[in-house]
């Protein structure tokens, strides 16, 4: 994945060189009112939107803990939806050649993109005069944050509109929290509580991958651009190195190193963008005839 990042940065450097070279409005277009519309140059802006995905998790280690959960009928894996909003900033640079626009952009997004799965389980072992019973609850919660992208963009401009496609490197932080609580009891004429055992797992790892997308922009003024964008982000599956805190009847028992396989599905995002293009005021097309 770092090879992809290096390629994206190299492409960004090439686009920056092209965009900063003197253009003399060679790639400019005029809109219906005769105003010069030139997408070349640097820009910075903000964006906000909705995002959604799914995450699969599976506890793989320690083996003894996995075995005990299986024996009790408790889940060692879960799939759950994550959704919410992402907001952040972006910076980019691009150069226009006739109606074609080539560029590079980096963005950083935070926000609230999370979800949870909860399940109940239980069982019993019967023997003469009574039974040994247990009831448990398990939950897994995930959060995606600190989403970073570095992409190349290729667009087509007409009038004050600009449609583009993008692709490049993506990286995000994924936090996972999981907990399991089991109550044990002996039941005969009445049920006698025996013990309550709990486990709480936590981990955080950065996942790398790629992003693809497309957008449509409108140049409100020569320096202000509004746009809408869709992004498809695919992040790698990864084994998290975390820890599980154990307790008995609420009293801490100790902590064990644990590993969980975390596999995010594609992140879909739709966002609104407001960008500020660096440059001077609009001039009439006749100035350059």
CATH of the domain at 236: 2.40.160.20
> How many folded domains does the chain comprise?
1
What single DSSP character describes residue 28? -
Find the helix or strand (DSSP H, E) in which 19 lies: helix 2-20
- Cβ contact 131:192 at 8 Å: no
The whole-chain average pLDDT of the chain stands at 87
How far apart CA 139 and CA 178 sit, in angstroms, is 6
Sequence length of the chain is: 289
167-184 average pLDDT score: 97
**Any idea which of 150-154, 230-234, 278-282 has the lowest mean pLDDT?**
278-282
Question: Residue 223: pLDDT above 80?
Answer: yes
Nearest residue to 81 via CA among 62, 105, 53: 53
HSE value, Cβ hemisphere, 13 Å, CA-based, for 262:
28
- Cβ contact 99:158 at 8 Å: yes
How far apart CA 25 and CA 11 sit, in angstroms, is 23
Nearest residue to 7 via CA among 125, 142, 186, 167: 167
**Any idea which of 3-7, 195-199, 237-241 has the lowest mean pLDDT?**
3-7
Domain boundaries, position 181: 2-288
Q: What is the value of pTM for the model shown?
A: 0.83
pLDDT score, position 27: 57
How far apart CA 160 and CA 277 sit, in angstroms, is 14
Question: Residue 23: pLDDT above 70?
Answer: no
pLDDT band of residue 22 (cuts 50, 70, 90) is: very low
pLDDT score, position 33: 58
269-277 average pLDDT score: 97
How far apart CA 53 and CA 269 sit, in angstroms, is 9
pLDDT score, position 31: 52
pLDDT score, position 282: 45
Quick: pLDDT tens for 92-130.
999 999 999 999 999 999 999 999 999 999 999 988 778
**Cα dihedral 166, 167, 171, 175 in deg (nearest 10):** 70
pLDDT band of residue 25 (cuts 50, 70, 90) is: very low
DSSP SS3 for 38: coil
45-57 average pLDDT score: 97
Question: Residue 238: pLDDT above 70?
Answer: yes
- Cβ contact 196:248 at 8 Å: yes
First to last CA, the chain: 48
HSE value, Cβ hemisphere, 13 Å, CA-based, for 30:
11
pLDDT band of residue 35 (cuts 50, 70, 90) is: low
Percentage of the chain with pLDDT > 90? 78
**DSSP3 helix / strand / coil % (the chain, rounded to 5):** 10, 75, 15
pLDDT score, position 14: 44
140-168 average pLDDT score: 97
């Amino acid at each position: 994945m770092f090879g992809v990042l290096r390629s994206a940065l190299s492409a960004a450097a090439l686009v920056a060189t092209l965009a900063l070279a003197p253009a003399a409005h060679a790639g400019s277009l005029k809109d219906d009112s005769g105003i010069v519309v030139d997408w070349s140059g640097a820009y910075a802006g903000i964006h906000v939107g909705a995002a959604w995905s799914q995450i699969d998790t599976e506890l793989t280690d320690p083996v003894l803990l996995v075995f005990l959960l299986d024996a009790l009928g408790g889940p060692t894996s879960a799939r759950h939806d994550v959704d919410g909003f992402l907001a952040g900033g972006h910076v980019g640079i691009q150069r226009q050649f006739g109606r074609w626009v080539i560029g590079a952009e980096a963005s950083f997004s935070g926000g609230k993109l999370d979800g949870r799965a909860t399940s109940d389980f239980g069982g019993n072992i019967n023997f003469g005069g009574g039974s040994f019973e247990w009831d448990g609850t398990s939950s897994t919660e995930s959060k995606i944050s600190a989403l970073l992208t570095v992409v190349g963009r290729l667009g087509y401009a007409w009038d004050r509109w600009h449609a583009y496609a993008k692709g490049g490197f993506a990286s995000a932080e994924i936090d996972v929290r999981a907990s399991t609580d089991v109550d044990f009891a002996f039941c005969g004429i009445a049920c006698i509580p025996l013990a309550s055992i709990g486990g709480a797992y936590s981990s955080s790892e950065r996942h790398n991958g790629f992003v693809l997308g497309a957008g449509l922009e409108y140049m409100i003024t020569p320096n202000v651009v509004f746009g809408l964008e869709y992004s498809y982000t695919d992040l790698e599956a990864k084994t998290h190195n975390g820890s599980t805190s154990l307790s008995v009847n609420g009293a801490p028992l100790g902590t064990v190193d644990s590993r969980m396989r975390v596999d995010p599905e594609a992140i879909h995002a739709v966002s609104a963008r407001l960008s500020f293009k660096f440059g001077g005021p609009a001039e009439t097309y006749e100035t350059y005839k």
